[in-house]
Chains A and B, each alone.
Chain A
Amino acid sequence: MFMRKVLVLTALAFPAAAAEAPHLGQPITEADIAPWAIDIAPDGRGLPAGSGNAAKGEEIYVEKCAACHGFDGAGQPADALAGGQGSLGTAKAVKTIGSFWPYATIIFDYTRRAMPLNNPQTLTNDEVYALTAYILKLNGIIGAKDVMNAKSLPRVKMPNRDGFVQIWPGNLK
């Protein structure tokens, strides 16, 4: 009996597996997790209420973003946010949101959680929608008057949407 137990245990990657776990996790509701759960799925799940357009976004951009990303998203010292479309297959590939990013929802998710770097998670949802609209307009992906919100943003098709090839669970040659 003892031997059998030893054999079973050594066959597992983790000898001290689940049966012995102390179960110290405390229940929590999704509602209580909500202040942390700010992630946005590419289909738009998680997008909050609110809206904004490029004109409003430009005002916020000049105040809070241009110092790092340059005027009109030209970049320097931080990443360029616009330009480069059509360059990825050339020797001088320029990766920007417009030329490279596959989903428009990432702009909202990343801007809301991490920007501006000196004050992350302080922008209102309306401000993030407006900035997202401005960046998309800079790249010629939406028009100046288009309003971005939880319905319209997931419908925006990024130019490089079909440019990604999923490697997992295989490997790159």
Chain B
Amino acid sequence: MAKRKQPGTDLEPVAGNGLLHRRMFLRGGAVAGVLGAASLAQAEPLAVPEWVTKPGKRPQPYTQPSPFEQGVQRMLPDQNPLYEPGSASGRTPHQFLEGMVTPNGLHFEVTHNGVPEIDPARHLLVIHGLVKRPLKFTVDSLLRYPMTSRLHFIECAGNSASLYGSTAVKGSVQQLHGLLSGAEWTGVPLSVLLDEAGIDPKAKWVYAEGGDASSVTRSIPLAKCMDDVLVALYQNGERLRPNNGYPVRLLVPGFQGNMNIKWLRRLRLTEEPMQTRYETSRYSLLLADGKTAQFKFQLDAKSIITRPSPGYQMQGPGLYEISGLAWSGNGTVKQVEVSADGGKSWAVAALSGPVLPKMLTRFRAPWKWDGGPAVLQSRVTDDTGYVQPTRDALIAARGNKANYHYNGMTSWNVAGGGEVTHVYA
């Protein structure tokens, strides 16, 4: 049995610029000891607030966040304020969120011609092409299938794209990395429906089409569809939000967000990929030499620190928790390390379980800020052994024109005055 460490020893730094051992979070005492001293300075009698002396409001049929949380909103695109037809997005405010699950009202979206208001009674899912029996499914019939629930992240392949640029955009984690969310998805394994239609042995790809006014279409490898793809009907326990594909969407774990076809209405089994606009001129990576990497589906391992992050004001020297998200489209998060000195030294962060494949993992690391300049970074290693690259290494490998799949590190500069900004380091 390991010898129990003496209280206080976990506060010794394990990496440069004040990073402490992650074990500190496993035992409450040390934190309380440090923070408790400050609160004793207050010596006023406690006030009795009015919400104790008057009855509260009656229940509502569908509750909303506290009015004091009204600042927690998705970020909408500023280049299209009048909502002209075309692409639009809503970005998740990770700087305000904790845990691993994104609330439904804050889940990110990218739409290519608005959010359709689909009447589920008039919606159908058709499976055809290289199948023995072309079939159509009503939404009601899909709801009668045995359900599978799993937690997965969805990330737009264009998330974090500005970090390919030569200047560090002074944005928030929401603006830079907000095309990312995690949720529990419930639905019917696509393999069940494909088996029901009877797969022709010649079929190798599944061409999926959305039923909105942009008719997004993508070709997905049949092997992936038979492995872990869901025809999703529920999101975090309730039916999908219209913004996220109501009444039925594809959930393609770990692959480019655009492939998780929303408002799914048609699947055609084919021998070859269909070479659609969204898998040729979009969601492909233009490399330095002018060649284009196509069908790069997997979102490689990536991590971001969500607190502190730009917009957060440090409140004087002392103990802080560095909190962030890590994920891998190729598997499960194995380890996350954080640095407070721009990558010179690293401390292993604590992972807040459950740690699930192709899902966001919350990590935390204790940090004693001395009030001086610091550069915070995180890097994840997944269970394939892949280590998240630095920004420089990523760009050295594929150039800066790729636009999609940025998964290099992000650096937050903490200035002496406590302001946090995005920098390249």
Distance of B149 from chain A, by nearest CB (Å):
11
Chain B residues near A134 (CB, 8 Å)?
Answer: none
Q: Are A93 and B195 in contact (CB under 8 A)?
A: no
Q: In the docked arrangement, what's the CA distance between A24 and B297, Å?
A: 31
Interface size on A, residues (CB 8 A): 55
Chain B residues near A78 (CB, 8 Å)?
Answer: 86
From B128, B133, B280, B284, give the contact of A106 (CB < 8 A).
B280
Q: In the docked arrangement, what's the CA distance between A89 and B399, Å?
A: 11
Task: Tell me the chain B residues, 108-152 only, with Cβ under 8 Å from chain A.
Answer: 112-113, 126-128, 133-138, 141-142, 144-148
Q: Are B145 and A163 in contact (CB under 8 A)?
A: no
Q: Are A18 and B297 in contact (CB under 8 A)?
A: no
Q: In the docked arrangement, what's the CA distance between A121 and B215, Å?
A: 10
Q: In the docked arrangement, what's the CA distance between A61 and B341, Å?
A: 56
Point out which of B195, B280, B294 has the most chain A C-beta atoms below 10 A from its C-beta: B280
Known: A17-B192, A117-B85. A106 touches B277 (CB 8 A): yes
Task: Tell me the chain A residues, 1-53 only, with Cβ under 8 Å from chain B.
Answer: 13-18, 20-30, 33, 36-37, 39, 41-42
B392 at the interface (CB under 8 A from A): no
Q: Are A37 and B128 in contact (CB under 8 A)?
A: yes
From A29, A103, A120, A165, give the contact of B113 (CB < 8 A).
A120
Q: Are B268 and A17 in contact (CB under 8 A)?
A: no
Distance of B228 from chain A, by nearest CB (Å):
6
Chain A residues near B274 (CB, 8 Å)?
Answer: 39, 41-42
Task: Tell me the chain A residues, 89-135 only, with Cβ under 8 Å from chain B.
Answer: 89-90, 93, 95, 97, 100-103, 105-106, 109-110, 113-114, 117-118, 120-121
Chain A residues near B280 (CB, 8 Å)?
Answer: 101-103, 106, 164
Known: A22-B145, A93-B286. A17 touches B189 (CB 8 A): yes
Chain B residues near A103 (CB, 8 Å)?
Answer: 275, 280
Size bracket, chain B contacts: 35 or more
Chain A residues near B398 (CB, 8 Å)?
Answer: 172-173
Tally the A-B contacts, defined by beta carbons under 8 Å. Answer: 173
Distance of A95 from chain B, by nearest CB (Å):
7
Q: Are A165 and B294 in contact (CB under 8 A)?
A: yes
Chain B residues near A164 (CB, 8 Å)?
Answer: 280, 284, 291-292, 294
- Chain A 129-172, CB-CB to B under 8 Å as 1, else 0, gives 00000000000000000000000000000001001111111011
Q: Are A168 and B189 in contact (CB under 8 A)?
A: no
Known: A24-B144, A102-B275, A172-B398. A89 touches B290 (CB 8 A): yes
Chain A residues near B209 (CB, 8 Å)?
Answer: 36, 39
Distance of A105 from chain B, by nearest CB (Å):
8
B196 at the interface (CB under 8 A from A): yes
Distance of B181 from chain A, by nearest CB (Å):
23
The A interface, classified by DSSP as helix, strand, loop or mixed, is loop
Q: In the docked arrangement, what's the CA distance between A102 and B280, Å?
A: 7
Q: In the docked arrangement, what's the CA distance between A20 and B191, Å?
A: 13
Chain B interface residues toward A at CB < 8 A: 84-86, 112-113, 126-128, 133-138, 141-142, 144-148, 189, 191-193, 195-197, 207, 209, 213-215, 217, 221, 223, 227-228, 265-266, 268, 270, 272, 274-277, 280-281, 284-286, 288-298, 300, 330, 397-398, 401, 405
Q: Give me the 7 closest cross-chain CB pairs, A-B, nearest first.
A: A89-B290, A25-B135, A16-B146, A117-B85, A24-B141, A88-B290, A168-B295
Can you show 29 pairs from A to B with CB atoms below 8 A apart? Answer: A14-B192, A15-B148, A16-B147, A18-B196, A21-B195, A22-B141, A22-B145, A25-B137, A27-B133, A28-B135, A33-B266, A36-B209, A39-B207, A39-B217, A88-B290, A88-B292, A110-B276, A110-B277, A114-B213, A114-B277, A120-B214, A160-B292, A163-B291, A163-B292, A165-B292, A165-B294, A167-B293, A168-B221, A168-B297
